[in-house]
Amino acid sequence: MKRSTPRLVSLALALFAPTLLIACSDSGPTDPSDGLTVFGGPTDPARDGSYTEAIRAENGIASLEPVVIGGVEQWVLIRGYDVTNPVLVFLHGGPGSPAMPYARFSFGGLERHFTVVTWDQRGCGKSYRAAIDPQAITLERMLSDTRELIQMMRARFGVQKVYLMGLSWGSILGTLTARDHPELLHAYIGVGQVVDVERSIPIAHAAALARATDLGRDDAIAALSQIQVDPVDWDQVDELGEWLEELGMGDIHDPSLLPGFAAEAGPLTEYTAANEASEDAWQALYDASPLRTDETWLRNLDMIDQVPRLEVPVYFMAGRYDYKTPGVLAEEFLNGLDAPEGKRMFWFENSAHVPFIEERSPFHTVMIDTILAEVGG
């Protein structure tokens, strides 16, 4: 099955980075007279000249840096107002759809309560290198990289456990890590939780037809009617995905909001022009990897069967309009899951696949007032 470029990272690069070249001033005053230390900002750039917006705090961190994971240099963004807060590690989607283009905007409201770690996974975003072997980009290797990153952050911040959040493909890594290494985690948070790809396709198809009918989109109805989902024609799945995006049932429900979000976020200083320009190259790298050349692993994925029990608190976040990963399957998975430490589902009524962008404030409220309050640090 040929895969198109993940839409979220392309949207983020297009909308969150239009002022990259004028990002040469700090985000605010750095007068130290109030006794607070300034972390990050343009006076403290990364090796490649990129930087992350400054944080002013007594015990904060704002660092954009390369680290070695699995023998390969990869980049992480670490931001928080107090390094004694719990650590939250975010696993982006894709595979190969890095989060740094939207991380500071999406998770900034969590930085006073968590030390937020955003990682551009092996071979994509700031972690792209032409010399990376595509054959090393496997599910097993990415799971190993995930564990190594968690262990690195535990050691760095002197904590026994971290919070782990996975989006879409990242939810596969997160769920399997939570299953196999609960001792490393305070809790697991699945956003756009992947459950069973083959079962998700007819659900998404039926929902897309219904929405196209409601909207009077005869073009969509005609095109969707030609897509075979029983049994699934895997060669048509990308076309279904394109219609989900068109109908507000893919990454973003209301794309008209994105320019306003971009203006609020300001320039994407975490990426250089070279980082942005390498998107086609890193997508080609992933297309040549076993994750894409043989997708049997994905088509056979069934979290309900493969993950019957999780020994950490489990939280699922679902956008009501998300049919890339239908929330009804996440709910079914959660209802049947043996989770002795507790489990909860949260719906975001005005979002699709990424509620932390479309409904940031409610998302942050759940993270802080419910999950952190229940689990603690």
- Domain of 267, CATH number, reads 3.40.50.1820
Mean pLDDT of the 151-177 span? 98
Query: Could you tell me the residue range of the domain that residue 359 belongs to?
Result: 7-196+252-375
> What is the model's pTM?
0.94
Taking the C-alpha atoms of residue 318 and residue 331, their distance in angstroms, rounded to an integer, is 9
Counted domains in the chain:
1
Mean pLDDT of the 214-241 span? 96
Taking the C-alpha atoms of residue 7 and residue 359, their distance in angstroms, rounded to an integer, is 19
Q: Does residue 205 lie in a domain region?
A: no
Residue 285: what are its φ and ψ, rounded to 5°? -60, -45
Give the CA distances from residue 43 to residues 40, 49, 233, in Å, rounded to whole numbers and listed in that order. Answer: 7, 10, 53
Taking the C-alpha atoms of residue 3 and residue 237, their distance in angstroms, rounded to an integer, is 9
Assigned token pair, 172: 């596969």
| 134 neighbors 289 (Cβ within 8 angstroms) | yes
Taking the C-alpha atoms of residue 377 and residue 161, their distance in angstroms, rounded to an integer, is 8
> Given this model, what pLDDT does residue 155 score?
98
Q: Does residue 243 lie in a domain region?
A: no
Mean pLDDT of the 338-348 span? 98
Confidence of residue 17 (pLDDT cuts 50, 70, 90): low
Give the CA distances from residue 322 to residues 12, 14, 303, in Å, rounded to whole numbers and listed in that order. Answer: 18, 22, 18
Q: At what angle do helices 197-215 and 218-225 cross, to 10 degrees?
A: 150
> Given this model, what pLDDT does residue 82 score?
98
Q: At what angle do helices 279-287 and 7-15 cross, to 10 degrees?
A: 170
> Does an H or E element contain 238, and which?
helix 237-246
Confidence of residue 23 (pLDDT cuts 50, 70, 90): very low
Confidence of residue 1 (pLDDT cuts 50, 70, 90): very low
Taking the C-alpha atoms of residue 254 and residue 247, their distance in angstroms, rounded to an integer, is 9
Q: What tens digit of pLDDT does each residue of 181-217 get? A: 999 999 999 999 999 999 999 999 999 999 999 999 9
Find where tokens 């975001």 sit. Answer: 348
Mean pLDDT of the 364-368 span? 98
Q: Does residue 228 lie in a domain region?
A: no
Taking the C-alpha atoms of residue 300 and residue 268, their distance in angstroms, rounded to an integer, is 38
Choice between 265 and 77, residue whose per-residue pLDDT is larger: 77
Confidence of residue 280 (pLDDT cuts 50, 70, 90): very high
Q: Does residue 209 lie in a domain region?
A: no
Mean of per-residue pLDDT scores for the chain: 93
Radius of gyration, alpha carbons of the chain: 20
Percent of the chain with pLDDT over 90: 89
Mean pLDDT of the 348-376 span? 98
**Which positions are annotated as active-site residues?**
168, 322, 353
Q: Does residue 211 lie in a domain region?
A: no
- Residue 346: which residues within 8 A CB-CB, separation 6 or more? 315, 316, 317, 318, 366, 370
19 pLDDT exceeds 50? no
Q: Does residue 16 lie in a domain region?
A: yes
Taking the C-alpha atoms of residue 110 and residue 208, their distance in angstroms, rounded to an integer, is 33
Among residues 72, 190, 51, 52, which one has the least CA distance to residue 124?
72
> Given this model, what pLDDT does residue 6 score?
66
Burial of 81 (0-12, 13-18, 19+ CB in 10 A): buried
Q: Does residue 214 lie in a domain region?
A: no
Mean pLDDT of the 238-252 span? 97
Q: Does residue 314 lie in a domain region?
A: yes
